[in-house]
Amino acid sequence: MPNIGGSFKALAFALSLGVAACGGGTTDTSESLRRGISANPDSVDPHKVSSQWENIVIGDMFTGLFTDGADATPVLGMAKSYEISDDALTWTFKLKDAKWSDGVPVTAQDFEFAFRRILTPETASQYASMLFLIKNSQEFYEGEVGADELGVKAIDDKTFEIQLNYPAPYLPGILKHYTSFPVPKHAIEEFGDDWTDPENIVVNGPYKLVQFRTGDFLRSVANPEFAGAEDLCFKEVIYYPYDDLDAIERYIQTGRLDINNAFDGQKTEELKEKFPGWVRTAPTLQLTYYSFNTDLEMFQDLRVRNALAMALDRDFMVNEVLTAGYQPAYSFVPPGTANYNGGAQVYWADWSLERRQEEARTLLKEAGYGPDNPLEFEYSYRSTDDNPRVAPAVQSSWMEIADWVKPEILQKETQVQYALLRQGDFQIGDGAWVADFNDPKNFLYLLESATGVMNYGNYNSPEYDALMAQSDRERDLDARAELLRQAEQTMLDDMAVIPMWFAVSKNLVDPSLTGFIDNADDVHRSRYICRDE
């Protein structure tokens, strides 16, 4: 993660150092790297995705101005250098000589086109709001200004400029994210929405998609136009959308997988014994939380939201059901997040479970619920990871409030669950967030009213929005952290969502592989991975 506590110039020097293309070991052109991902990608268009498993695939195919180092820290990608203005509002990038996979040069105009495209409502990007730090971006998105007033500009073929609304020392983290990837204007103009079909797709990253069999696999091969392609240890990467964790064990036993991005946390010790050296866990900036659909009258009542949030036995779930290293969450921003000291938490964080459930019962009675008016609602959860085992414990905690609290639990395929959350088609919905960049802004922006579909419960607080806007303008990092703490406390006091737990990353990795470095982002690009024969 970028060290944004220092000066902008020091940051620029550190990021200019870059990394080597391969993580060690021998180059073996006869092998494929076989990666299990949690679900089937909805798309491979960088502007139309939003999930971690899609990031695994797309991050192998495209490269932004910055890219992920082997440990996921931002290093220069398509940019060979950059300068930051004295007021930190203008970043000017000089581009490397690079080509798309069809041999067409990558230019500053491609980046200009890409930023305009993702910020056009017709693109329907779920992540567009993450770029609202760019000058006039929200105004452009809302149709108030034209493209020429958007703060991105191709000065010439090799010079690209970004103007910001406020200083953002974490910008390199955003510019390595798929939201900021360039897309090939010439291919999109020729093929329209079909530009991502394997026969049409054009990429600028180390691997190019050649097959996409929905629900079965995706296959990418080394892109010969990518600088350093000759150093890739694997000339082919195959991605399998596996969500059956028991089946994954069989695939490993039969030699069908090299890496999987999840495993059954309750079986950690069993897996360590069964597959020596495969189990990898590490601290990560990840939060599981539940969203209320506040369009529903029952969840417009703060007493109901607080009651359901405080009654959950997080300690049991973390200690008895989930993976070792998980922590109960009584705040929203994960501990260890850069530029933040924390301090915000729900008012009942230190209460005993017995006291919390008693208070929950009282709050629900005050809200008008009881034997003659039971509280009935649905809780939907993702089918992957440990969620199916946690769901009965969640249901049990709520039912222990009183026999007139009647939750129904519904399992959904993970990609379906997120689609329902974005559509507002849920009552209480389980979801998780993994940091895109190491700063509290990346978590707290989810609850801003301008965020759009990623603000699943449509939380809307003028006080919260004002604090977030004030933090954007604050250049002193300590003062900024305090404003963000106040914002976090505001959303917790409103019980905008239910924080559940902070996670560790869980990967299964063939111990013969090198270059897979555990990191807080849980990002591991295939270009760095080799097999140590």
**What pLDDT shows up at residue 4?**
26
Asked whether the predicted pLDDT for residue 240 surpasses 80, the reply is: yes
Q: Kindly give, in sequence order, each residue whose CB lies less than 8 Å from that of residue 92, ignoring residues fewer than 6 positions away.
A: 82, 83, 85, 155, 159, 160, 161
CA distance 416 to 419: 5
Residue that has been written with the tokens 């409502």 in this structure? 121
Tens digits of residue pLDDT in 442-463: 999 999 999 999 999 999 999 9
pLDDT at 15 over 90: no
For the cut 90, the answer to whether the pLDDT of residue 38 exceeds it is no
Distance CA 522, CA 506 (A): 9
- DSSP tag of 427: S
Closest by CA position to 112, among listed 76, 142, 152: 152
Give the per-residue pLDDT at 17: 36
Angle among Cα 499, 503, 506 to the nearest 5 degrees reads: 150
Question: Band of the pLDDT at 30, cuts 50, 70, 90?
Answer: low
**pLDDT in the model for residue 385:** 76
- 8 Å CB contact between 201 and 60: no
The pTM of this model reads: 0.87
Angle at 25 between CA 21 and CA 28, to 5 degrees: 85
Burial 239-264 (b: 16+ CB within 10 A, else e): bbbbbebeebbebbeeeebbbbbbbb
Kindly tell me if the per-residue pLDDT of 3 is higher than 70.
no
DSSP string covering 175-229, please? Answer: HTSGGG----HHHHHHHGGGGGSTTT----SSEEEEEEETTTEEEEEE-TTSTTG
Closest CA to 76 of 134, 14, 22, 133: 14
**pLDDT tens digits along 118-164:** 999 999 998 999 999 999 999 999 999 999 999 999 999 999 999 99
Task: Give the distance, in angstroms, between the CA of residue 231 and the centroid of all CA atoms in the same chain.
Answer: 29
Find the mean pLDDT for residues 180-195.
97
Which domains, and CATH codes, for the chain?
8-238+510-531 (3.40.190.10), 284-504 (3.10.105.10)
Let me know: does 431 contact 52? Beta carbons within 8 Å.
no
**What pLDDT score was predicted for residue 324?**
84
Confidence (pLDDT) at 266? 84
In eight-state DSSP terms, residue 99 is B
Question: Mean pLDDT in the chain?
Answer: 93
Convert the pLDDT of each residue in 284-327 to its tens digit.
Answer: 999 999 999 999 999 999 999 999 999 999 999 999 999 888 99
pLDDT tens by residue, 241-286: 988 888 899 999 999 999 999 998 888 999 999 999 999 999 999 9
Task: Say if CB 288 and CB 280 are below 8 A apart.
Answer: no
Percent of the chain with pLDDT over 90: 87
